[in-house]
A and B are shown apart, each in its own frame.
Chain A
Amino acid sequence: MNIDDIKREFPIFDDKIQNNDLVYLDSANSSQKPRVVVDRIYDFYTKEFSNVGRSVHYLAVAATNLYEQTRVSVQKYINAKDKDEIVFTKGATEAINLVANTFGQKYLSEGDEVLLTELEHHSNYVPWHFLRKAKNIKIEFAEINDDGEVTLEAIERKITNKTKIISVSHLSNVTGAILPIKEIVELAHSKNIPVLIDGCQGAPHLRLDMQDIDCDFYAISGHKMYGPTGIGVLYAKKKWLEDLPPYQGGGGMINEVKKEGITYGELPNKYEAGTMATAQVIAFNESIKFMEKIGIQNIEKHEKELLDYGLEKLRKNNSVNIIGNPKEKGGVISFTIEGVHPHDIATILDEDGVAIRAGHHCCQILHDKLNLPATARASFGVYNTKDDIDKLDEAINKCKKIFNL
């Protein structure tokens, strides 16, 4: 795999940004888009546009077929058993909200417990918090250890006979910890507890096999997988999609609508109310193909090399503290510099075209636990190189110089 060739497929790197070559280290936030994805959106709107699933004219049928092709691509990519287990959403956030809402409606009542972890992104906490308000349920948090990871034992400690669902990240967007999700699912299932995996950071970087992981739900974000914004996927075992109530009501999700009553459509239409992000779903197929062409094992290997190089480099840089030290870690390095606030770091790095993120990364629970109001974070994608990390290191040195460290 030749990174220079891959990088050339991303138009954003063609031009200078603010007179700098772009060093994009914010892929955990959102990835850049390859030309094939951008072109697909343009081509669909200019040559093939129609709404899907309704009309019978040529364009409508063609668009419906394209839309459904993405579903099959996703199914194959994550090795789901059935294409009807793939529900398109506006993002991973909506996927988690869908599960919290419908599962909560049917299966949660006062005193029941939902088990999360201290690592969770706000999008895997706030939807459950709504239920805490509405239904008086309890939310428990499995604790992180000193290395910033959540172990199987930490999960086990918080399971009680009131635990009704477990919802955990696949890969932490702050410490980079990869959770032992297969073992968590096995443990949970031995106690008849379903498991939702927030796969926002897992899907773009790790090989996925739904039948092997055996989780009940898996939430995916399209725009972190080199795909368009406004598109995500909820994978759910068919038994759940058949069993749970619909999420949103509207066109497309119904079977028959009468004054006396309504019946709902078959899967997967039951969960796709209204006009979906058609162009984005169709273009998302190109993201999947793009990743398949490179090969997920090559992506994993490349990002692991970058991570090892980055950790080595930054550990040598005095006054840089790396947050967490998980044994299984994805391409995320969160750090602080003693004496420089993360926002100042981000502004100074940006001056040299080094784009990182600073803040709590939508993980306030975790930052409270770490007793840090904010951290700086560099995260990798397929287009990053060791040169990018060298530039990060140089920009950090400049930062230290400005602050007289």
Chain B
Amino acid sequence: MDLKDLYQEIILDHGKNPRNLGKFDNYNKDAKGNNPLCGDNVHVYLRLNENKKVEDIAFEGHGCAISMASASIMTDMVRGKEEKEVKEIVTDFLGMIKEKDSLETNILKDDEKTKLMSLSGVKQYPMRVKCATLSWHTLTSALDNSDQIVKTEE
């Protein structure tokens, strides 16, 4: 295990200055997620336009550097994408965090993939995987209009 894999510069940067933090007025989908074990929580807001494209996205919440960075990078990455593309990215990302060595989707550019791969360090820290995945599960829940609060614990 190497802490430098976990706390890469990009994560520290996004963790400290999360992009898209806050809430905007005309969102039409949202969902909450929390991690009862840590007390971390996140609320994702997004606006899908008539072409099912993510016109805007933001999040509120608090948590560790990993969870804040993950939400920050995620929101940056899915803005402007179509719903089905977003779902493909989410599936690809969760698959990578869970087992795969790399990202496979063609939707993301190489530099975007590199950015997302900066979160792969959590694989070595099983207790921290939930920190990286919470906002992604919450995004899915928002897209699916689920009223259920996403929880990392059953």
Docked CA distance A339–B12 (Å): 11
Known A-B contacts A343-B38, A347-B6; the reply to A373 vs B128 at CB < 8 A is no
Q: Is B54 an interface residue (CB 8 A)?
A: no
Complex interface: chain B residues within 8 A of A360 (CB) = 39
Q: Is A403 an interface residue (CB 8 A)?
A: yes
Q: Which of B3, B6, B41, B63 contacts A341 (CB 8 A)?
A: B63
Give the contact-size bracket for chain A: 20 to 34
B1 touches A373 (CB 8 A): no
B131 touches A351 (CB 8 A): no
Complex interface: chain A residues within 8 A of B127 (CB) = 347
A359 touches B125 (CB 8 A): no
Docked CA distance A246–B34 (Å): 38
Give the contact-size bracket for chain B: 20 to 34
Q: Which of A334-364 contact B (CB under 8 A)?
A: 339-344, 347-348, 351, 358-360, 364
Q: Mark B62-78, 1 if CB is under 8 A from A, else 0.
A: 11111010000000000
A403 touches B12 (CB 8 A): yes
Q: Is B16 an interface residue (CB 8 A)?
A: yes
Identity of the chain B residue whose Cβ is nearest the Cβ of A360 in the assembled complex? B39
Q: Is A46 an interface residue (CB 8 A)?
A: no
Q: Would you give the shortest CB distance from A361 to chain B, in whole angstroms? A: 10
Complex interface: chain B residues within 8 A of A351 (CB) = 1, 3
Docked CA distance A351–B2 (Å): 8
Residue from A347, A359, A373 with most neighbouring chain B CB atoms (10 Å): A347
A348 touches B38 (CB 8 A): no
Q: Which of A339, A342, A347, A364 contacts B16 (CB 8 A)?
A: A339
Q: Would you give the shortest CB distance from B17 to chain A, in whole angstroms? A: 12
Complex interface: chain B residues within 8 A of A348 (CB) = 3, 7
B residues near A (Cβ < 8 Å) are 1, 3, 6-7, 12, 16, 37-41, 62-66, 68, 125, 127-128, 131
9 closest residue pairs by CB, A with B: A341-B64, A343-B64, A373-B39, A374-B39, A344-B64, A360-B39, A344-B65, A351-B3, A402-B7
* 21 A-B residue pairs with CB within 8 Å: A341-B65, A343-B64, A343-B66, A344-B7, A344-B64, A344-B66, A347-B3, A347-B125, A347-B128, A348-B3, A348-B7, A358-B38, A359-B38, A360-B39, A373-B63, A374-B38, A374-B39, A374-B40, A403-B7, A403-B12, A404-B12
